[in-house]
Structures are given as C-alpha cells and as structure tokens.
Amino acid sequence: MGTKVCTTRKGAVRGRTGSDGVTSFLGIPYAAPPFGPLRFREPAPADPWEGVRDALEHGPSAPRAPYAPPMDVLIPDADGGQGEDCLNLSLWTPHPGPGGGLPVLVWLHGGAFSNGSGVGPAYDGRAFARDGVVCVNVNYRLGTDGFLRLPGRPDNRGLLDQIAALEWVRDNIEAFGGAPDRVTVFGESAGGMSIGVLLAQPRARGLFHQAILQSGAAHHHLLPDTADLITARLAAKLGIRADGADLADAFAAVPFEALLPAQSELRAEMGARPDPALWGEAVLNMMPFEPVLESLPLPSPDRGVRLLAGSNREEYRLFLVPTERLHLLGEAKLRRTAAEYGLDPDKALPVYAESRPGAAPGELFDAVATDWFYRIPAIRAVESVPGSYLYEFAWRSPQFGGLLGACHAVELAFVFDNLRDPVYTPMLGAEPPQAVADAVHGAWVAFATTGDPGWDAYGPQTRTTMVFGASPDTPAEVVQDPRAAERALWEGVR
C-alpha cells in the first residue's frame, strides 16, 4: 500500500497502490470542462496545474438521467457524482512509471449514448492491470450535450471527447507504463458503436491499433435529416422556439433538472409512437441520441486495425424479459418488425422457428432483433478486416426464472473479471461461473497483448467463432458458422 507520482504533460498526479501491486490514478482531466463558453463545442485542452494533483478518487461523470426502471437495477452505473468537469479518465497500471512498454486497453462505456459512466466498481480495471495491461476508462459527453444536432456547433461532440481521450493516451500513457503504439480500444453497446464510427474517422487514425467491439459495431447512426427531427421535437418539449444559431444558446439555458427528464421522455415517446414520420429511421434503433453521419462505412483494412467483435446470444431479452414484453408480443408485431428490418417474414421466420421448436412470437422477436442490432453488424465488421476475430457470449443468466438468458450487457462482469461485485448480482445471480470469466477475460488480455485472442481468425470459408459459456462444462468452444441459415438471411440486407 502507498502512493505513487507520475507526470503528465499537464502536471504531476498522485495515485494509490494497492496490496496487489496495482496502482490506480483516478479522475485525471483529459480536456477542459465543456460548459460555459465551451458548451456544445469541441473539447478544449485541459489547464495545466502546479505541484502534484491527487488522483485518488474518480472524477464526476457526464450529467445524465438515471436508467428507467427496471434497467436502473440491472445495468451497472456509477453511484458517484455528475458534474461539469466530466471529461476525465481513470487508469490502472502494474508499472507506474516510464519504461514499462505495456499494452493498453481504453474502455468506452455503453448506455445508448445518453446513460452510463466510465467509472465505478462495475468497470474497475484492476484485473487487467493485474494481468499486465494498463486499463484506461473514459467519461464522455452524453445525450443533448454529446450528440444532439445543433446549428453552428460540431456534431458528435461525445465522439470528439473520445478522440481527445485517445490523444491523451497517445501523449501521456508512457508515463504510466503503457506503450502508445500498443493501444486497443474496447467498448460495449454504445461504446462498441462508437468504435465502429471511430474506425472510419480520419482524426482517430493512428490513435489505436486494435479494437474490441462488444454488442455494438458498424451499424447504428442517424442521418442528418432525422437528427434535425429529433432536435425539433426535444425543443418543442422544452418550449424552445429559437432556431438557427440561437438554438444552441436556448438549449444551454435549460437547467439540467428539466433537460435530462425531457431526454428520457423523448425516448419513451419514440417507443410509444414509433412513426417514421415523427422520428425518421431512428424508430428502428429506438435511440434518439446517436452519432450523426451521412453514412457509416464498414471498417477498412487499410487502417491497419485488427478487430475482435461479437455479441451475446440473446441480447434483446434484456429489453423484453424485465418489462414482461417477452410473452406479450404477438405474431403481427413480429412480422412487421422483421419486414422493417428488411427480411421477408414468410421466408425468414420459419428459419428462426426451425431451431427453436415451440418458440413464442416474443422469443422469435428476440432472435431476429438480436441479429439485426448486434450479431450481423459484428459479423460484417470482422468480415471487412481480414485477420479479425469473432466471438459469441452464450452463458445464460438464471435471473427472472432463467428467461433473462444471454442478454445484452450480461458479459460485462466476465470481461472485467469482476463477478463477485454485488453491483452485478441482479443481472447474474449469486453464482456466475468463474471458469467463463477466466476464458473471456483471458481472451481480451491475450488480444491486447499479442493480437491473438486464442482461436483462428474469421474467414468466409470457416467463419470461425469462439462461443463462451454455451454449457456448464464448456467455458469456451470454437464453432464454425453458428446458426448459418439465420446468418444467410441477412445477406444483402442493410
């Protein structure tokens, strides 16, 4: 136990060393607070400081509304404060000082671009540092501040924050034992979708050398016209009548006590009235806040970034089981959604039903939505970069009478090798299998360290996929082209 001082380009920081030899440095600013005159602007450089700055507690995370029930119990979120100085990061290292040359993992959290935080016990990076990897967790702007389209202001400010954090890693990580040319960025859900965008951004080129995309890949974004619709609807909800260059100032004048609940209400309204005339193509994603792009190209192999991507087998159950929608969805909704996703219901639904005898419409809905949102984008990402790797997480949570299954976000505790933290108990139950955590966490460490997670790369002939936790006796198993008939249905579909 004790403290350790490392020096960044802005000043020295003091971290705390635990009994395991891992030193944490928490709440380090990588950019200036994005408020006041910097509201809705690109991230600006952080101010330097004199002396040694304590980095012993996590910094505030971005202002955001809490998850709506029952997600507020199931999905881990930080209990710490929110505040203006939210563009900060935390890191864990086994070698607090220059000369370590260690691989680096940079975590981008999920939360539908409007919730979540990079700090807190759920994403504690100590296990990665224990295993020889410097782990960096990033906070970035969310919701209106991070992603609402505003005239005269840059789009995708939350993504610009992520780039600024990666620039901080490039410029400073050597002081904490990391190697700036061995950086792997990894993220889940909105974090994985962010990486899918960063892979095509010129400003992000060279800032990371590998990427792990969990349950989110090159798929989700808003077209500018749709983003403008959402801005107009949120403005109307808040009683804002300004337009043009005055619109950003009008939003800035709304206190967070009113702005954050309005954001949550907007998403609820989208779910209650999924009319494309109101929301554009956002009705498919059900997320009012996303990166705004004219198009989202697949990752290009000329970036030189190797990928590890994948999804959970029953992702969409997180949104169906706790809300009791799994058994309420009918055949009409199933067929309509399949058609909206670009499938022919008459041809596709029998294929899904064949491998799920007796499945109710809600269970088939989960399978189709899981593929559209998560599995197919992951496959397309690794297909686009030869030498990349595909996984599927299949361990089924026993919660909700076993119905929760291998749902969205269930893999997080396994990735961070943090099964025993009580924050994960509502999602995982009392006895999640450590052997699966050893396999998943070990694969992430191996990929960050060597570029090889421990199985063959994905290719069009074999379609090699590592499946984690499919049965109690099989923590990891290589499978060739799992559910091939269902995968083939999506060929040629957006």
Active site residue 315: yes
Nearest to 127 by CA among 469, 477, 466, 440: 440
User: DSSP label at 167?
Assistant: H
Q: Which of 408, 411, 441, 486 is catalytic?
A: 408
Q: Any catalytic annotation for residue 354?
A: no
Q: Is 408 a catalytic residue?
A: yes
Return the closest-CA partner of residue 100 out of 28, 18, 180: 180
Nearest to 39 by CA among 197, 146, 113: 146
| Spatial CA neighbour of 198 closest among 285, 297, 114 | 297
Residue 480, judged by CB atoms within 10 A of its CB (0-12, 13-18, 19+), counts as exposed
Asked if 58 and 257 count as a contact pair (C-beta separation under 8 A), the reply is: no
Annotated catalytic residue, options 24, 114, 117, 189: 189
Residue 132 identity? G
Nearest to 75 by CA among 468, 397, 462: 397
* DSSP letter string, 301-356: GGG--EEEEEEETTTTHHHHTTTT-TTT--HHHHHHHHHHTT--HHHHHHHHHHTS
What is the signed CA dihedral for 258, 259, 261, 267, rounded to 10 degrees? Answer: 150
DSSP 80-119: S-B-S---EEEEEESS-STT--EEEEEEE--STTTS--S-
Nearest to 303 by CA among 391, 375, 388, 376: 388
| Upper half-sphere CA count for residue 440 (Cβ side, 13 Å) | 31
Place of tokens 């990897």: 133
CA nearest to 120, candidates 131, 109, 133: 109
Number of DSSP helices (H) and strands (E) in the chain, helices first: 19, 13
Question: How long, in residues, is the chain?
Answer: 494
Helix (H, G, I), strand (E, B) or coil at 63: coil
Residue from 315, 392, 411, 486 carrying the catalytic annotation: 315
Alpha-carbon distance 10 to 59, whole Å?
17
- Residue 435 near residue 422 (C-beta atoms within 8 A): no
Residue type, 489: L
Q: How far apart are the C-alpha atoms of 386 and 349, rounded to whole Å?
A: 31
Name the residue among 374, 425, 318 with its Cα closest to residue 190. Answer: 374
DSSP 31-44: S----GGGTTSPPP
Q: Bridge-partner residues for 107, per DSSP?
A: 137, 186
Which residues form the catalytic set? 189, 315, 408
